[in-house]
Amino acid sequence: MTATVNSVISPEAKNVLSQFAATGVQSCFHGRHINPQIMADLNGSNWHLKDYEARGGYQALRKILAQGEGVGMTPDQVIAEVKLGGLRGRGGAGFPTGLKWSFMPRQFPGQKYLVCNSDEGEPGTCKDRDIMHFNPHSVIEGMAIAGYAMGITVGYNYIHGEIFATYQRFEEALEEARAAGYISKEVGDKILGSNVSFQLHASHGFGAYICGEETALLESLEGKKGQPRFKPPFPASFGLYGKPTTINNTETFAAVPWLIRNGGQAYLESGKPNNGGTKIYSVSGDVEWPGNYEVPLGTPFAKLLELAGGVRGAAQGRTLKAVIPGGSSAPVLPAAIMMECTMDYDSIAKAGSMLGSGAVIVMDDTRCMVESLKRLSYFYMHESCGQCTPCREGTGWLWRMVDRIHNGKGRATDLDLLNSVADNIQGRTICALGDAAAMPVRAMIKHFRHEFEAMIPKATAQSAERLTT
Ligand SMILES: Cc1cc2nc3c(=O)[nH]c(=O)nc-3n(C[C@H](O)[C@H](O)[C@H](O)COP(=O)(O)O)c2cc1C
Ligand code: SF4
């Protein structure tokens, strides 16, 4: 597929995109990043190979594959460098990338696979699509480096089904990379004069949130219904088509070229200990300038909020009430706690939430937490794949209970019941969607119980109502 993106974007959409570029709103061309590594110097049109090379692109791949005395890097050296850099997976769990790469059984006789998770369905998250649309070669180079490090010769990028123009652009970028010899054209083609071959393909996903869960993604990639597999076995031993497979998020791969080009130590120092590098935060909700902001891990939340223009309507008296710091699965945190946090995996975990995918959802003082939870619970009920009973039934119970509280029909025991249902989902399911549905419920009740109680009619009124109906 080599059709140009321009041919599929309508004039109206182009106009909207150019407005984003001009104002910086809801995108990444605003110049309000701090020391960006992935989004540096992007302007919306400089995504081609020649532009990427001009920004230093593919130097990291050349560096590791260089032939001769004292040059080049062995696969072990590449993995050691990634470990040193403290790169943690950007897909949600923050798992150390170098460690994950070291799990790949490199000597396995037969095909091994590398998969990029570009499903990006977590509500609030919109960074991977910008990376692929405006800097696709960073992902391709990162995957080629990862393939070399783990002895993998075939990779797939599974791209969310609803961003077709981005899928097409990624295909175009792949064609450019193949023509320039950065990835193999055919099976066994060697790249950059080395002994190494690496084929990379894009795959168009089906647009279901659950297909972002790594084993559901593998099922979907195999052409089956996207439902999570029971683990163990983990993908490192039984992955795509039953072969050893490593899966990383788009942003994780896009971070690798900078890390290898500048070295693990520099990458680590560009973030904070145990949290190397920069992170792209998708800031949405009640801020002046929603958009993607790339800043060093460890940046104070207050600074990130300031970059996004602060709380919308602050001049009219609006104040910060709460923040969901890592996508809809992450427990909500009240403003006072958030304002003390730095934006990194350890600080947000210590505060009782998760950095997750880095989707920062900002809520002002007018937001009703019961209504917000109702919306979140509906999402998880809708997206449950239905394989396990606690998730299939429990997500529906959660939504129905929050819905009745919101409709003024809650019962005095509902908050305890909600917590109990959440307890009976969390940790008892095949995949982490169950946890993702349960955690927001418990956090909302913990921090904003008074709002829920205020919507529940008093017990006496309830019994009177029951007697008369
Ligand atoms: C319900 C669910 C949805 C997920 N969606 C995504 C997603 O859209 N993108 C992603 O990279 N990871 C997603 N994950 C996490 C992946 O399973 C996996 O951990 C991740 O792709 C690993 O990449 P990383 O190590 O680079 O973070 C999801 C997990 C769950 C449980
Ligand atoms: S937890 Fe939910 S989404 Fe995950 S496998 Fe079970 S039913 Fe499916």
Integer Cα distance of 10 and 357 in angstroms: 30
359: exposed, middle or buried (Cβ count in 10 Å: 0-12, 13-18, 19+): buried
Residue 23: pLDDT over 90 = no
Please answer whether residues 83 and 96 qualify as being in contact, where contact means their C-beta atoms are separated by less than 8 angstroms: yes
| CA of residue 215 to ligand 1 center, whole Å | 9
- Residues lining ligand 1, CB < 6 A? 89-93, 95, 100, 117, 119-122, 210, 212-214, 247-249, 252, 431-433, 436
Least Cα distance to 53 among 129, 117, 140 occurs for 140
> How many Å apart are CA 387 and CA 392, to the nearest integer?
7
Mean pLDDT, rounded, for 375-390: 97
Report CA(468)–ligand 2 centroid distance (Å): 41
Q: What is the pLDDT of residue 18?
A: 53
Q: Report the pLDDT value the prediction gives residue 97, as an integer from 0 to 100.
A: 98
Tell me, what's the pLDDT at 262? 98
* Mean of all residue pLDDT scores within the chain: 92
**Residue 92: CA count within 13 A, CB half-sphere:** 21
Residue 125 has pLDDT above 90, yes or no: yes
Instruction: Give me the half-sphere count of Cα atoms (radius 13 Å) on the Cβ side of residue 175.
Output: 11
Q: Is the pLDDT of residue 185 over 80?
A: yes
CA 88 / ligand 2 centre spacing (Å): 25
| Side-chain half-sphere CA neighbours of 282 within 13 A | 23
Q: How far is CA 50 from the centre of its chain?
A: 28
Output the pLDDT for position 24: 42
Q: Which residues, 6 or more positions from 313, have their beta carbon under 8 angstroms from its beta carbon?
A: 286, 364
The residue type of 362 is V
Q: Categorize the per-residue pLDDT at 11 as very low, low, confident or very high, splitting at 50, 70 and 90.
A: low
In the numeric block, the tokens 């995949």 are attached to 431
User: Is 235 in contact with 246 (CB distance < 8 Å)?
Assistant: yes
* Per-residue confidence (pLDDT) for residue 461, from 0 to 100: 57
Q: Is the CB of 427 under 6 A from ligand 2?
A: no
Partners of 204 in the β-ladder: 159
Tokens 């909207």 -> residue: 16
- What pLDDT is stored for residue 450 in this prediction? 96
- C-alpha of residue 332 to centroid of ligand 2, in Å: 22
Percent of the chain with pLDDT over 90: 86
Q: How confident is the model at residue 203 (pLDDT cuts 50, 70, 90)?
A: very high
- Given phi > 0 = left and psi -120 to 50 = alpha, else beta, which region is 317? left
Q: Whose CA is nearest to atom 8 of ligand 2?
A: 385
| C-alpha to C-alpha distances, 307 to 33, 55, 81, 290, 293, nearest whole angstrom | 8, 25, 31, 10, 8
Q: Which of 328, 344, 331, 421 is nearest to 382 (CA)?
A: 328
Residue 281's pLDDT is 97
Instruction: Give start and end residues of each alpha helix (H) in 274-413.
Output: 301-307, 335-338, 345-350, 369-383, 389-406
d(CA 110, CA 244): 9
Question: Could you report how far apart the first and last alpha carbons of the chain are, in Å?
Answer: 64
Give 319 or 30, the one with higher predicted confidence. 319
Site to probe by mutation for ligand 2, drawn from 393, 395, 429 as the one with most ligand atoms within 8 Å of Cβ, is 429
Statement: residue 20 has pLDDT above 50: no
Q: How far apart are CA 268 and CA 86, in angstroms?
A: 6
Please state, in angstroms and rounded to a whole number, the distance separating the CA atoms of residues 325 and 327. 6
SS3 129: helix
The answer, yes or no, to whether residue 15 has pLDDT greater than 60, is: no
Q: Is 241 left (phi over 0), alpha (psi -120 to 50) or beta?
A: left
Which of 158, 213, 384 to probe ligand 1 with, by most ligand atoms within 8 A of CB? 213
210 lines ligand 2 (CB under 6 A): yes
* Res. 405 pLDDT band, cuts 50 70 90: very high
Question: Ramachandran region of residue 97, left (φ > 0), alpha (ψ -120 to 50) or beta?
Answer: alpha
Ligand closest to CA 215: 1
Higher pLDDT, 273 or 25: 273
**Overall average pLDDT of the 345-359 stretch:** 96
Residue 7 pLDDT more than 50? no
Residue with tokens 């509280």: 405
Ligand 2 atom nearest the C-alpha of 392 is: 7
pLDDT digits (tens, 9 = 90+) for 228-265: 999 999 999 999 999 999 999 999 999 999 999 999 99
The response to whether residue 431 sits with its C-beta less than 6 Å from ligand 2 reads: yes
| Ligand 2 contacts CB of residue 429 (under 6 A) | yes
**What pLDDT digit, counting tens, does each position of 51-93 carry?**
999 999 999 999 999 988 889 999 999 999 999 999 999 999 9
- Among 20-29, 169-178, 199-208, the range of highest mean pLDDT: 169-178
With a cut of 90, say whether residue 16 has pLDDT above it: no
Query: Two tokens at 134?
Result: 């405006």
Range 395-415 average pLDDT? 96
pLDDT recorded at residue 44: 87
Residue 285 pairs in a beta bridge with 362
Does the structure show a pLDDT above 60 at 6? no
